[in-house]
């Protein structure tokens, strides 16, 4: 099967099954891109997620565009992005019609509550995956071989800067990127714990 068609089908599935959007899509994209097709390594995937968060637009759309560009060039980016958004567009039209027609039904209201709970679980799973990759270099808990103290300190300082000091997220990301580069290129081995 041509890689362009694989990109479309993979991101069509991501768009089709990404309930909750945003961070809830990260495990779905990782499963398609890293585990199933092995287009990217875990580190490349993490880098693309980071870049996708820094650019304007929805996370899944940005990630599909970057992955498509990396794997299939401009055509890959267009096809992956189309695959990611077309299912959501069609589902949104159907759901609008459905909920407009049955908005008073109590069963529908309970189903929505269940979907909210599922999306919280998916977001928690994404957060754990990102933390494992950032702190241990892998997303598989069983494969954790090392723990980066410097990365853990950066995570803690980032949370402090965002929550207590109310610094803008872009500034915090730039500062952390600068510190990461500094730690990476310093010849002192004890900084890379």
Structure confidence by residue, pLDDT tens digits, 102-113 = 878 888 888 878
Backbone angles phi, psi at 8, to 5 degrees: -60, -50
Torsion, CA 166, CA 172, CA 175, CA 176, rounded to 10: 130
pLDDT of residue 117: 83
CA 11 to CA 3: how far, in whole Å?
12
| pLDDT tens digits along 38-74 | 999 988 998 998 888 888 888 889 999 999 999 999 9
Q: Higher pLDDT residue, 172 or 125?
A: 172
Q: What is the pLDDT of residue 180?
A: 81
How distant, in Å, are the alpha carbons of 143, 169, 178 from that of 14? 26, 27, 33
**Comparing 142 with 25, which gets the higher pLDDT?**
25
pLDDT in tens, 136-147: 877 777 666 677
More confident call, 85 vs 135: 85
Which range among 46-55, 118-127, 160-169 shows the weakest confidence by mean pLDDT? 118-127
- 31-35, 76-80, 117-121: segment of lowest average pLDDT: 117-121
* pTM of the predicted protein model: 0.58
Angle between helices 42-54 and 59-101 in degrees, nearest 10: 70
Least confident segment among 83-87, 141-145, 146-150, 164-168: 141-145
């Amino acid at each position: 099967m041509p890689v362009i068609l694989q990109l479309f089908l993979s991101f069509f599935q991501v768009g089709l099954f990404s309930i909750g959007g945003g961070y809830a899509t990260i495990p779905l994209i990782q499963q398609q891109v890293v585990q199933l097709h092995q287009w990217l390594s875990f580190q490349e995937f993490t880098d693309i997620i980071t870049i996708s968060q820094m650019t304007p637009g929805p996370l899944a759309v940005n990630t599909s565009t970057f992955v498509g560009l990396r794997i299939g060039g401009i055509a890959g980016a267009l096809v992956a992005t189309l695959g990611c958004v077309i299912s959501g567009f069609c589902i949104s039209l159907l759901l609008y019609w459905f909920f407009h027609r049955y908005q008073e039904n109590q069963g529908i209201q309970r189903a929505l509550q269940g979907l909210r709970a599922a999306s919280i679980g998916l977001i928690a799973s994404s957060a754990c995956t990102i933390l494992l990759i950032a702190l241990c270099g892998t997303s598989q808990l069983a494969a954790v071989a090392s723990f980066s103290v410097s990365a853990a300190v950066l995570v803690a300082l980032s949370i402090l800067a965002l929550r207590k000091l109310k610094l803008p997220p872009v500034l915090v990301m730039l500062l952390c990127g600068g510190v990461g580069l500094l730690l990476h290129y310093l010849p002192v081995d004890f900084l890379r714990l």
